[in-house]
Structure 1
Amino acid sequence: MAERYCQNSLWIFFLEEETVVNLRRLLQVLSRFNPWREWFLGRALYDASATIIHHYAFSEELTAFSYPDFAAGWALSCSVVKRLADYMKHEPPKSDFTIDLKHEIALYIWEDGRGPALTTVHEFCSELHGSPNTEHCATTVSFYLPSCGTLVKREDLFVAVKTCQKFHQDRVPVVKETWAKDAALLEFYSDIADSTIPTIDLGVPNTESGHCAKTFAILRRFLSGEVTQTPWLLLVDDDTLISLPRLRRHLRCYDPNEAVIIGERYGYTLTKRGYSYITGGGGTVFSRVAVLKILSSSCSCYSEDAPDDMVLGRCLNTLGLPVTHSPQFHQARPDDYPKELLLRQSPISFHKHWNINPVAVYQQWLMDSEDLLQQNFSRENREEL
């Protein structure tokens, strides 16, 4: 498709919904570059440390490779686009998984040094639109979080935490010490019933990898009405860190009477007509309607230890139900993402306790008081008036 646009154009400029463009300055910037050469232009991001979401690429020299900040916008000369279009016919992306598109696109364009590396353009800015010292910018970023209406009540969100006996003593206390206090309705699901937590044994044995059987058992319990009639379900792991106040703020932009599934979206074999799925570690939000559609279908686990998030993704693709991506959900730790991205995202979740102090991470990145949430909501309503 991009190649088609190049029939009458010299450049293709890509942007996000929050990107604000000064078209005159953008054209001035592009005029500095010879469009007949191969150019890949953008605001450069670098990994601060080797990260699993980039498969630990360039771990020996992290600054050797940069990738674009999508919100600041990025551009390709049509010389690159035409070559890539032909290249894709013979060499599709090697990985079946789409995890961080901006990094994977940069790698594909670079083509092990045969293609252009990202050229930094300082006029492509990620500062907030209207901020001081942005007069030179061709692009800036608008305030990301929309204001959509009524704040979701604590009692309208049911939280299901997946755990197992071997993590009762280390992970579960972290949940209780950090974000669980903001939940009106929460249950821990384990492979044994432990009254001291308490946990609920769903009759599903623990597995070392995927947890498909446990997840479907939780969905059935939620839909049965045995514990709740809430419109929203949040499904998380016991090593997920999450801000429930921010999540409730986010959910007011969605209608629980529709089939809604929200989280961090990954992709599987997308170039071969694969499917998108919500990666489970960052948390997955379901509307009750979505759960009903899933359980009313023929969707099922092909094994107890099948990857639950991917099974659900394939199921939703078959049903024609979309999964909604939010960059505020994170499958990995804060250290695995560029700090400048996190600072403007108001993160909702992170995942994994590996090599971090999870309580400190929660306090630094996710802790929002209920009072602060109400103050922000009142301020936004006043601004709208």
Structure 2
Amino acid sequence: MPGNRHLVAGLLLLSLGHMVLAAGSSEDASLSGKEDTHGIPARQLGVDAVVFVIQSQSNSFHAGQAEKLRDDLLRQVQATSQKPPVVLLLHTLSDNEGDWSILPLLPYLSISFGKNSSWMVFLEEETHVEVTRLVGALANFDEEKEWFLGKPLHDDESTIIHHYAFAENPSVFKYPDFSAGWALSIPLLVRLADKVRQQPPKSDFTIDLKHEVALYIWDKGKGPRLTAVPQLCTEPEGSPRARTCATALRRRPLPCGEPVKKEDVFVAVKTCKKFHHERVPVIKKTWEGDAAYVEYYSDYADASVPTVDLGVPNTERGHCGKTFAILQRFLSGDVPDTQWLLIVDDDTLISLPRLRRLLSCYSAGEAVYLGERYGYGLSQGGYSYITGGGGMVFSREAVARLLRSGCKCYSDDAPDDMVLGMCLNALDIPATHSPLFHQARPEDYAAELLAHQVPISFHKHWNVDPVAVFHKWLREDERKRSSGDKTEL
């Protein structure tokens, strides 16, 4: 299974920083030269000394969201008569598909902006920014020193997605919640860029970028740890709790329209004989009832499920042969003609109503390849892929282009999600990332991260009651559903 492969790869492969000045320090004092609450003169910092990098994606929906954020930042600055900052859309900076992993991009950022800027601030498309407050928060730090700033997350227990790092006490290591924004001072950026040139990241897999970036910066204690900035928040934009925040979460535009219809999504479940009576019943107790069309694909035709035998022998890992047979069946006319295909494992838990709301933001006429994005060899010109356990979503156009290309498995037990990533990358069909899909269990993610998500999927039944997990994290409120309330994602 993909999780085991990542575990093997991971296994192979606090001087605390100066504490942020108190959240109560006023932004006015920071910008006017008055002393802050520590009696230190606040530095003057112009917004033009800040470079904003929006961690954008090339899919038309996500590119549009990033452009709206850029326009909002520039509009705010225009109203203050200050010089405008540089605002970059990450997906437009080069042809390197792996730029989303940030580290390969640092040399370019250092060369382009290292001499005339003080801060590099990274934002996700959902990050709302109050520019004046953010500049005030940054002004509390000496930009001539190395700073790594953000809203800290930590693991309560060691987890596979972080390669079981800090197993004895995982909570000691802090990493940034990208949704709140995070920042590097230019001296740190320049040094990291030199390090990337001389010592590229060694890990083959990019699994949880925010944790891996923090590890690279920390450098086994030779670099700075993350410093918490209370003004970097994940409260909802406009809420009372966000009144003192420099960043908050933009009110999501979801649904972008009416949720796609049940009949527009075909669900393919990968299973095998030994799990027909262990895992399949969980699906039937939880999310199967929300599917208009679902088929279970196995190595054995079992009328009690029922399952479809695709004629591909079961393999202990990889399942590439089975997945490509599913793709061919999707276009064959033997199943309903739908706009979207969802492929899941038999131990994937998913909310189909939430997925259908999310899909309202995408055009089925585009080649869409959607889920939780991982990377392989991104520092060496590798590729991105959607990890299978959290669910892989394809538009019909993406499947058609893939199969027309002739790209195929090199063996039945090749890793299906990685082979798909290679094939689609070669076709310039990007892996579109949504943080709402999860390759692992809820326990494997920081509680504060999940607190501001409405998740779509989780994966694995290991050491959990999967039915209880579904009802806690993924079950829709029946009253809202019956009343037509469109819960925000």
TM range (shorter): over 0.9
Q: Tell me the distance in 2 between the aligned counterparts of 1:105 and 1:212.
A: 31
Q: Which residue does the alignment assign to 2:396?
A: 288
Q: Which residue does the alignment assign to 1:383?
A: none
In 2, are the aligned partners of 1:245 and 1:370 still within 8 Å (CA)? Answer: no
Mean Cα displacement is larger for which, 341-350 or 160-169?
Answer: 341-350
Query: Residue 226 of structure 1 is aligned with which of 315, 328, 334?
Result: 334
In 2, are the aligned partners of 1:283 and 1:329 still within 8 Å (CA)? Answer: yes
In 1, are the aligned partners of 2:297 and 2:308 still within 8 Å (CA)? Answer: yes
CA shift, 1:355, in A, is: 0.5
In 1, are the aligned partners of 2:157 and 2:171 still within 8 Å (CA)? Answer: no
In 2, are the aligned partners of 1:245 and 1:369 still within 8 Å (CA)? Answer: no
2:343 is paired with a residue whose SS is: strand
Pair 1:271-2:382 in alignment: no
Q: Tell me the distance in 2 between the aligned counterparts of 1:162 and 1:200.
A: 10
Query: Residue 292 of structure 2 is aligned with which of 167, 171, 184?
Result: 184
CA shift, 1:175, in A, is: 0.5
Q: Which residue does the alignment assign to 1:365?
A: 473
Query: Residue 197 of structure 2 is aligned with which of 84, 89, 100?
Result: 89
Query: Residue 38 of structure 1 is aligned with which of 116, 126, 146?
Result: 146
CA shift, 1:28, in A, is: 1.3
CA shift, 1:144, in A, is: 3.3
Kindly provide the CA deviation profile for residues 231-286 of structure 1, in whole angstroms up to 9, marking residues without a partner as x. 11110000000000000111111111111111001011111111110000000111
In 2, are the aligned partners of 1:275 and 1:314 still within 8 Å (CA)? Answer: yes
TM-score by length of 2: 0.76
Query: Residue 303 of structure 1 is aligned with which of 395, 411, 423?
Result: 411
Mean Cα displacement is larger for which, 333-342 or 233-242?
Answer: 333-342
Q: Tell me the distance in 1 between the aligned counterparts of 2:179 and 2:259.
A: 27
Pair 1:245-2:348 in alignment: no
Identity %: 62
Q: Tell me the distance in 2 between the aligned counterparts of 1:95 and 1:374.
A: 47
Residues 69 and 60 of structure 1, relative CA distance in 2, 3 Å threshold: same
Q: Which residue does the alignment assign to 1:60?
A: 168
CA shift, 1:49, in A, is: 1.2
In 2, are the aligned partners of 1:213 and 1:303 still within 8 Å (CA)? Answer: yes
CA shift, 1:146, in A, is: 2.2
Q: Structure 1 unaligned runs (5+)?
A: 381-385
In 2, are the aligned partners of 1:245 and 1:373 still within 8 Å (CA)? Answer: no
User: Size of the alignment, in residue pairs?
Assistant: 380
1:344 is paired with a residue whose SS is: coil
Q: Tell me the distance in 2 between the aligned counterparts of 1:378 and 1:87.
A: 47
In 2, are the aligned partners of 1:267 and 1:275 still within 8 Å (CA)? Answer: yes
Pair 1:11-2:147 in alignment: no
Kindly provide the CA deviation profile for residues 172-209 of structure 1, in whole angstroms up to 9, marking residues without a partner as x. 00000000011110000001000011111100010011
Q: Tell me the distance in 1 between the aligned counterparts of 2:287 and 2:416.
A: 24
Q: Tell me the distance in 1 between the aligned counterparts of 2:272 and 2:160.
A: 24
2:451 is paired with a residue whose SS is: helix
Q: Tell me the distance in 2 between the aligned counterparts of 1:194 and 1:46.
A: 44
CA shift, 1:378, in A, is: 6.3
CA shift, 1:122, in A, is: 0.8
Q: Structure 2 unaligned runs (5+)?
A: 1-107
Which letter does structure 1 place at the counterpart of 2:459?
H
Pair 1:213-2:321 in alignment: yes
Q: Which residue does the alignment assign to 2:95?
A: none
1:322 is paired with a residue whose SS is: coil
Q: Tell me the distance in 2 between the aligned counterparts of 1:331 and 1:270.
A: 19
Q: Tell me the distance in 2 between the aligned counterparts of 1:197 and 1:379.
A: 32
Q: Which residue does the alignment assign to 2:57?
A: none
Pair 1:20-2:128 in alignment: yes
CA shift, 1:376, in A, is: 4.9
CA shift, 1:379, in A, is: 8.7
Kindly provide the CA deviation profile for residues 37-71 of structure 1, in whole angstroms up to 9, marking residues without a partner as x. 11101110000111100001011112221000111
Pair 1:2-2:109 in alignment: yes
CA shift, 1:377, in A, is: 5.1
In 2, are the aligned partners of 1:262 and 1:285 still within 8 Å (CA)? Answer: yes
Pair 1:337-2:442 in alignment: no
CA shift, 1:374, in A, is: 6.0
Q: Which residue does the alignment assign to 1:350?
A: 458
1:40-189, aligned counterparts within 5 Å?
40-144=148-252, 146-189=254-297
